[in-house]
Each structure stands twice: as C-alpha cells, then as structure tokens.
C-alpha cells in the first residue's frame, strides 16, 4: 500500500514512517520542516526505495493537490499539526492556520483524489486523522474519556484540534469520504522535540539546570510510548471502520511530578550530577499554565475489541530507553538548542523566565 503521511518528519510521524516501511508499505512524506520537523528524524530510512519526501505546506492547496496527483496514495495518515499547548497560548493563529485550515485543505484534496479512483480502490481508501485526548477537556479524579465523550477543549491547541476533528467527521457524513479519527494520549519516546515535559526535563538535568514543574505537579496524564502509538495507527489504517473514532491510551496514569521524579532517578543511575546531589534536588515548582487541565485518561476498549490493539511498552521500560536515547544522541538535541528554534525557555505565560514544561 502507498500511504501519504503528513508531518512524517516529526516525532510521532517519523516513527510511523519507519514502522510502515518495515511492514512493506510505500510511504510519501509531506512535511514543511518547521521547527519541530527534521529530515534527521528520517535518516535511518532516507535511502529506502519505498520512501518519497515532499517539502510541502498542508495549507497550500496547489502543492497538496499536486502531491495527490503525482503519487496517487491509497491512504492518508494525517499527523501534520502545531502541537504544543504553551505555544498555542503565545500564538494561537498558527495553530488555527495549520490544524484547522490545513486539515480542510487536505480533506478537499483527498476527496478529489478519492472520487477519481475506480470502485475497488475507492472502497479501500482511508483517511486517518490523528487527534488528541485534549479535545475532551479535563477529568476529575475518576472516569476516563471515550469516543462518546463530549468535546470541551480548554486551550487554543485543543480547540484547533477539536475543530479539525469536526471537519474530518463532516467530510465523512457529507461526502462519504472514508475518514477515521484517532484520539491519543500523551506520547513520549526518542526524537520528541525538547519543549515537551520529558525531553525538556531530561535535557535540563543533563545541563545542570533547574527542573521546572507547573503548579504542584499534580496534573495527571495517560502516558503512551511512541512505538505503541505508531502500532495503533497501523491497526486503525488496516482494520478500522470508516466513520469510526478510536481512543488510544497508554493505560498509565501518572502525575507530572511522579514522571519527573522517576526520570530523575533514572538519570541518577545513567548520568549522575557532578556535585553528587540527586537530580531531584533541582526540581523547582513554578507558576502553573493558564487553563491547565487537571487530568486526562482514555478508555481504549474499542481499539482493543475492534482492532486487537493494546499498549505493549511498560512506562518504566520506555522511559529508561528514552533516557538512554537522549544521552546517546546529544548532537541531535544540542543542534536544536543551538539553532534558535527553541532554547528551553518558558512558553505560554508571555514571560521571559527560564522555565518550561508540559
């Protein structure tokens, strides 16, 4: 199968691309290579004959239409997005442009392509849109979000993804385009851009800097390893039903402070501080993010029942491997910090302080 992957040079996208190629699929990556996307993320498969790369903006209707016409994909995995909540607080316009307008452009290009296919190919075509648990808002101490949960986004990022979800569902209901929506929980693993909690904490610890934690660190997230996320998307692509939505959670709920402390203990073993103090001694509680959702958790029972998918990577094992990857690949993240796209500064409060987080 030939699959168009938007955002395929990003953190999750590049993992999906490698997984697709290893499964024998042909892949066309469309990525604008903004600050969080890099050809370096695809270096391991750069010479694979099954990979084609297109530097393209999903908001550019002419460019996207040309990609569909030249490559004739049999499916689309739509991962291209602005994805960091703090950045959306500082600058929501780019989130609306990419996540809403870009999704609309892509849907229209996919619809024109799909309508021109012959009947068997039209029946097999799929458009998988990758969303987030943040569209559902916040949970209290109990319960989990499911595919039936109402949408209550509380950040510009979440609102832009919610709008994209609604567009995808509307194109199915109105035009019969065979779309699916995947709402995934907090994803972690190698090659994640340093603005997110785990890589940022890890890098700051290695550099001997303070480890900022929002509020008291009590916000709870459901943690999903990037390999499990990629496998879930393949399962949706291969076995999902058109018009269906799927929640993909890691089944591992942890407060942010517990994630940071676990990370510190792993670093105490793998990269001790020069002063002999535990890395946890550098934790600093900072002003909370505006509108910070208290808790996310997803019910993945539909994905288990209909797709046969379940998360396989235990959090502690996945986090240990992630620590090892960042320690072994310092040039990757040092280049990002030197390049000026992001230097570890706090985002989302319109301040110039050094803190940052997820």
In the predicted structure, residue 58 carries a pLDDT above the cut 80: yes
2-193+224-251+293-315+332-339: CATH topology: Rossmann fold (3.40.50)
CB of 37 within 8 A of CB of 10?
yes
pLDDT of residue 357: 41
pLDDT of residue 342: 74
The 10 Å Cβ neighbour count of residue 234 is 19
Transcribe 204-256 into DSSP letters: HHHTT--EEEETTS--EEEEEEHHHHHHHHHHHHHHPPTT-EEEE--S-EEEH
Q: What is the pLDDT of residues 203-216, one digit of tens each?
A: 999 999 999 999 99
In the predicted structure, residue 127 carries a pLDDT above the cut 50: yes
What end-to-end distance do the CA atoms of the chain give, in Å? 36
Among residues 133, 227, 228, 293, the one annotated as catalytic is 133
Among residues 54, 57, 157, 195, the one annotated as catalytic is 157
pLDDT of residue 355: 39
Alpha carbon separation from 161 to 137, 170, 349 (Å, rounded): 12, 14, 21
**Spatial separation of the C-alpha atoms in residues 227 and 216, rounded to whole Å:** 30
pLDDT of residue 191: 96
The 10 Å Cβ neighbour count of residue 343 is 13
Residue 280 among the catalytic residues: no
**Spatial separation of the C-alpha atoms in residues 167 and 130, rounded to whole Å:** 13
The 10 Å Cβ neighbour count of residue 265 is 15
Residue 147 among the catalytic residues: no
**Residue ranges of the domains in the chain?**
2-193+224-251+293-315+332-339
Among residues 57, 86, 134, 253, the one annotated as catalytic is 134
User: Comparing 80-84, 274-278, 315-319, 345-349, which segment has the lowest mean pLDDT?
Assistant: 345-349
In the predicted structure, residue 218 carries a pLDDT above the cut 60: yes
Residue 133 among the catalytic residues: yes
Residue 237, judged by CB atoms within 10 A of its CB (0-12, 13-18, 19+), counts as buried
CB of 58 within 8 A of CB of 83?
no
pLDDT of residue 87: 86
**Spatial separation of the C-alpha atoms in residues 172 and 324, rounded to whole Å:** 43
């Amino acid at each position: 199968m030939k699959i168009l992957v938007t955002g395929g040079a990003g953190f999750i996208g590049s993992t999906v691309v490698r997984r697709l190629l290893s499964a024998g699929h042909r892949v066309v990556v469309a990525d604008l290579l903004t600050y969080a996307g890099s050809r370096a993320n695809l270096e391991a498969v750069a010479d694979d004959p099954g990979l084609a790369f297109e530097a393209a903006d999903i908001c550019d209707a002419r460019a996207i239409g040309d990609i569909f016409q030249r490559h004739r994909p049999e499916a689309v995995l739509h991962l291209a997005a602005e994805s960091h909540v703090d950045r959306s607080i500082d600058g929501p316009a780019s989130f609306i442009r990419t996540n809403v307008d870009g999704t609309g452009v892509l849907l229209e290009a996919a619809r024109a392509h799909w309508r021109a296919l012959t009947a068997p190919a039209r029946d097999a075509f799929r458009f998988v849109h990758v969303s987030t648990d943040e569209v559902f808002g916040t949970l209290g101490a109990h319960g989990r979000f499911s595919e039936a949960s109402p949408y209550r986004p509380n950040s510009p990022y979440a609102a832009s993804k919610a709008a994209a979800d609604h567009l995808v569902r509307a194109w199915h209901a109105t035009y019969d385009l065979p779309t699916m929506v995947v709402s995934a929980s907090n994803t972690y693993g190698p090659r994640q851009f340093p603005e997110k909690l785990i890589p940022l904490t890890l890098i700051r610890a290695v550099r001997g800097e303070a480890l900022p934690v929002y509020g008291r660190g009590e916000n709870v997230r459901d943690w999903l390893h990037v390999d499990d996320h990629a496998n879930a998307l393949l399962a949706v692509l291969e076995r999902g039903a058109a018009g269906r939505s799927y929640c993909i959670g890691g089944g591992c709920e942890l407060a942010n402070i517990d994630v940071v402390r676990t990370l510190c203990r792993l670093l105490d073993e793998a990269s001790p501080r020069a002063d002999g103090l535990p890395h946890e001694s550098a934790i600093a509680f900072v002003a909370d993010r505006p509108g910070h959702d208290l808790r996310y958790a997803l019910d993945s029972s539909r994905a288990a029942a209909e797709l046969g998918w379940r998360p396989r990577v235990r959090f502690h094992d996945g986090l240990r491997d992630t620590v090892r990857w960042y320690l072994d690949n310092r040039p990757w993240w040092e280049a990002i910090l030197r390049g000026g796209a992001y230097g570890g500064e706090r985002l989302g409060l319109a301040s110039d302080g050094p803190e940052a987080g997820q």
